[in-house]
Amino acid sequence: MKNFSTSSSRLLAAALFCGVTAVAAEAKPLVCEFKPNAPDSHTVVKGDTLWGIAGTFLDKPWCWPQVWGMNKEEIANPHWIYPGQIVWFDRAAGRLRLGTKVGGDGSGGAGDMRLSPQLRMQGLGKDAVQSIPAGVIEPFLSQPLIIEEDEMKQAPHIIATRGSRVYIGKDDKAYVRGDLKGGTSFQVYRPGKPLRDPITKAVVAQEAFYLGTLKLETPAEKGSDVHTFVVQSAKEEMGKGDKLMAMPPMPMQNYVPHPPEVEVNAHVLAIYGGVTHAGQNQVVSINRGKLDGLDIGSVLQLYHRGETVTDPGGDKGWHGLRDPKVKLPDEQVGSLFIFRVFKHVSYGLIMQVTEPVVVGDVAKTAE
């Protein structure tokens, strides 16, 4: 069985897929290995994802851009593999390729198929296989679920409602004060509980409860900063004191996994939904963001943080001092795909997991 190992560093791999310049020499090499029992081929079916297909062949499914040998043009095109196509394991080259049957005895040998390094250009549309199960994260792409401190201080807010109603719904009017910065469509949110770093205990952001959307009806008159808005949609009742955030741009629909540009060592801040344990396809927040080197598509490994235990023998350690307390190694439990990034906080989708993830678990650059 031939293994495929990249010769570049993590940063160089990220540069290949993201178009950035690599400068960090200390990054460790990224190794993508095929499973010992990897099959010769896989026929793509509806509902497959690139991550799932790659998991059939690879120990690390997020390595699929490397073993496909994808160039930047191919990565930029989200429509390149469809149900009915065959993924072939080219063992000699250590690559995955797309192929089509051209006859033979059906044994799956190289003589029975035509390799195609080109993208499939016909039939582009909704049937294209997605990189990850995007439907799971769609609500998290368009709603303000985390608000950082500087954003909250500057946010416009509802100061009154038409008729002094306590709460308003669809088509009701609201009066908003603050700098709209030229925006006309806004989301309404209510600050929730603070998110604290599990190590430092410092507040790094606040969760936000999404309430609905407002549309500007009449801008503030000269000498005033009070604007008139109309409720476009209401998920929850909104009212005086609730804050506004400009509508985000349309989320990207295709995601290419890659290592972060720098070594990242983060911890799980919270599990979405207020539960205590998270499994596969659940969303968690971590205490690192774009200022720490994360971007959309970064992949981190998840670990249970090793406990600190008492050594019953109380022997002296290597430094000659007694070590009554010893930290056990962190245990790897899964992988995390980062899909939304703020300054200091990110949201990630748990892609594989062997044990439930809990707040305080470690999320760090994959090895």
What 8-state DSSP symbol labels residue 150? H
Nearest Cα to 124, choosing from 84, 68, 81? 81
Single out the residue of 340, 354, 335 nearest to residue 272, CA to CA. 340
CA angle, 164 then 168 then 174, to 5°: 65
Q: Which of 157, 217, 153 is nearest to 185 (CA)?
A: 217
Closest CA to 64 of 30, 39, 99, 37: 30
Give the C-alpha separation, 71 to 58, whole Å.
Answer: 20
The pLDDT assigned to 74 comes to 57
Three-class secondary structure of residue 274 per DSSP? coil
CATH architecture of the domain covering 265-365: Beta Barrel (2.40)
**285, exposed or middle or buried, with CB in 10 Å at 0-12, 13-18, 19+?**
buried
Give span(s): CATH 2.40.10.410, the chain: 265-365
pLDDT score at 28: 60
* Low pLDDT (below 50) residues in the chain: 1-27, 72, 76, 101-124
Measure CA 226 to chain center: 37
Instruction: Give the pLDDT of residue 144.
Output: 67
The predicted structure's pLDDT at residue 317: 55
281 close to 272: Cβ distance less than 8 angstroms: no
Residues 296/336, Cβ–Cβ less than 8 Å: no
Give me the pLDDT at residue 324, please: 72
